Structure 1
């Protein structure tokens, strides 16, 4: 019986880790501001620098939305966001839990 309990505990532990790694990290970014977003960055909170611009050559127009998979393979759920708007202004938001967050809005 003891071997069965240990095996069951190990199986539950592995299943828990797999479940955390399998969490959905897709977030709908909504631009409710009056300005286009030219660049968007999402870096896990353990990173000391911003990752690449997720939008690349695209923009997120004022009033537009885009769904982004923010999974960088690190297993992190907490990310910092940075948006660069067409007028050069930047907005940063830290410690966003993308495993629980499904929509993030930028407003004026």
Structure 2
């Protein structure tokens, strides 16, 4: 089983949660996530595997998984108990300590849709966009 992937989201979560949108009873929550306490595991090759995940689908992202492409296991939901609202983004460290750069992403949304993308090179990108 892969080591726990970590979320680098403290400031991003707070910024998304307390953004400039006015708070109303009918407004969709920007983001509702609790910081996840995990053991930080990083590869020693110096590669940056931090990727900002953007949700521009029109729906709230309820789950996000990143799995080393060499492994057949999605592991835990990297959003934890939180969600990623439409229009929001979060910085994630997609590094399980095994030195891989190719990861498979899977996201689930409130409309029931599940999007899976294979072999994303997290060592070469800084942003990943989910769009309609």
Alignment of 1:67 with 2:85, yes or no, is no
What CA RMSD, in Å, does the superposition of the two structures yield over aligned residues? 1.3
**1:55 matched residue in structure 2:** 79
Deviation of 1:51 after TM superposition, in Å, equals: 1.6
Q: TM-score, normalised by structure 2?
A: 0.66
Structure 1: gaps of 5 or more residues: 1-18
**2:48 matched residue in structure 1:** 24
Q: TM-score, normalised by structure 1?
A: 0.80
Distance in 1 separating the partners of 2:45 and 2:77 = 24
Aligned length in residues: 90
| Structure 1 outlier segments of 4+, above 3 Å | none
Structure 2: gaps of 5 or more residues: 1-42
Determine which structure has more spread, i.e. the larger CA radius of gyration: 1
Higher strand fraction (1 or 2): 1
Deviation of 1:20 after TM superposition, in Å, equals: 7.0
Distance in 1 separating the partners of 2:105 and 2:98 = 16
